[in-house]
Every structure is written in C-alpha cells, then in structure tokens.
Amino acid sequence: MLPRWISALALSATLAGAHLPIPRLTTARTDGVAQLRWLAGCWELRSATRVTHEQWMSPLGGMMMGVSRTVVRDTVREYEQLRIETRNGVATYIAKPSRQAEASFAATSVSDTAVVFANPAHDFPQRISYRPAGTDSIVARIEGPQGGQTRGIDFPMRRVRCEP
C-alpha cells in the first residue's frame, strides 16, 4: 500500500493532467560498492559438524546488505548482520556480530576481483578481505593481532542456491 501522501500526489497530478516521472532506482555509484557485485549471492562453508552461510544482496543505492550464520550440529553458534555502504566516499564494511558491538572497516582496496577492508583500532580482526576463487567460490579472510602474534583465518566458501 502506498503512503497516503504519494497517493494524494498521484491523484492531484492525474486530475491536473500532469505526468509525474516514476523515480528509478540505480546502482550507478563511483564509490566502489557497485564494483562488489561479484560478492552478491549465497555462500556456504560446510564441514562434518559445522555449516556457515553468508548471504549478500546486490548493490543498490550505494549499499549491500548481508547476513551470516554458523550452526554447529543443530545449534546456532554465531550470527552477524553485515553492510557495505559508502562513508565519506569510501566503501565501508560494517559488522554487527552476535553479542558484540558494531564495528566498521574502511576499504583500502576495491576491484572487480578483490576487496580489503581495514580498521587498525579494532581488536580482532583488523582486516577483512574477500576474493573470488574460480567461478563459483570465494575466500573470505580475517586477520590481525591476537595473542601477541598476527593471525589470519581463511573461510573458503562455495556459491549455493539462495533458499527462500
């Protein structure tokens, strides 16, 4: 249902014989978010006892929205709300992990084949990256200092059908 003011505006324009253009949504941005279209879709990392699903909406309006969920045996262990949006002209990854505060990571590199986000002030991770691995896979990576050493963890995921 349309908001009342839109309906009233359309009716007024119709009665006045005017033609109102219908606004078109666009993904044309120069901020790097549109370049990350290759990340859109559903991704899975599966082992014998653990499954992680990550899903990203296509860029629209300068933003991508995503979610992640990890299930071990039949219990949700972790979940995360994700966004990639433009902040101060830079593609920025915003994560809200389960039971944690939101954190943002500004892109240091964006291309059609990889993206790296960084936040040196964050505890762990300080860097988050994604890169395609073939035509139906990606590798997500988190890295940063932990326990006095630099640690990195790769999450190789394959594209899966998005469930309704």
Number of H helices, E strands in the chain: 1, 10
Q: What is the mean pLDDT of the chain?
A: 85
Output the pLDDT for position 164: 84
| CA 8 – CA 17 distance, rounded (Å) | 14
Cα 46 from chain centre: 20
pLDDT of 15 strictly over 70: no
pLDDT of 8 strictly over 90: no
CATH assignment of 26-160, among 3.40.50.720, 3.60.21.10, 3.30.830.10, 2.40.128.20: 2.40.128.20
Output the pLDDT for position 7: 37
pLDDT of 110 strictly over 60: yes
| CA 110 – CA 138 distance, rounded (Å) | 15
- Phi, psi angles (nearest 5°) of residue 78: -145, 150
Per-domain residue ranges for the chain? Answer: 26-160
| pLDDT tens-digit series, residues 120-140 | 999 999 999 999 999 999 999
More confident residue, 4 or 48: 48
| pLDDT tens-digit series, residues 85-94 | 999 999 999 9
Output the pLDDT for position 115: 97
Query: Tokens 């964006």 label which residue?
Result: 110
| CA 92 – CA 7 distance, rounded (Å) | 36
Q: Which two tokens stand for residue 106?
A: 């500004």
